[in-house]
Amino acid sequence: MASGDFGATKPDASIFLHAVDLFGVEPHEAAYIGDRFRTDAVGAADAGLTGVWLDRPGRATDAERTEAATRGIPILRSLAPLPALLRPHP
């Protein structure tokens, strides 16, 4: 789904909520992995999804790391840890 086709852009919650609706899941059951902190990870988290920031270049600032930790947003440098991160926890 492209934001231009939807009529709203990230980080607007409506685009994330529309996506989970298309999949027939609740926001807390979904994750959004993106390479932009504010528009992707924070936008998803604000909409109730698990927001994950893929920071491959490792350019996260101290302020972004602090905000991510406070919001419970994981910062990944690669997709390798993603399966364990998304696996349901007892």
User: What's the pLDDT score for residue 5?
Assistant: 80
User: What's the pLDDT score for residue 89?
Assistant: 61
Is 90 exceeded by the pLDDT of residue 7? no
User: What's the pLDDT score for residue 90?
Assistant: 58
Element spanning 75, H or E: strand 75-76
* Rounded alpha-carbon distances, angstroms, from residue 41 to 8, 15, 48, 81: 16, 13, 11, 16
Is 80 exceeded by the pLDDT of residue 18? yes
- Determine if the peptide bond prior to 88 is cis (ω within 30°): no
pLDDT tens digit string along 33-78? 999 999 999 999 999 999 999 999 999 999 999 999 999 999 999 9
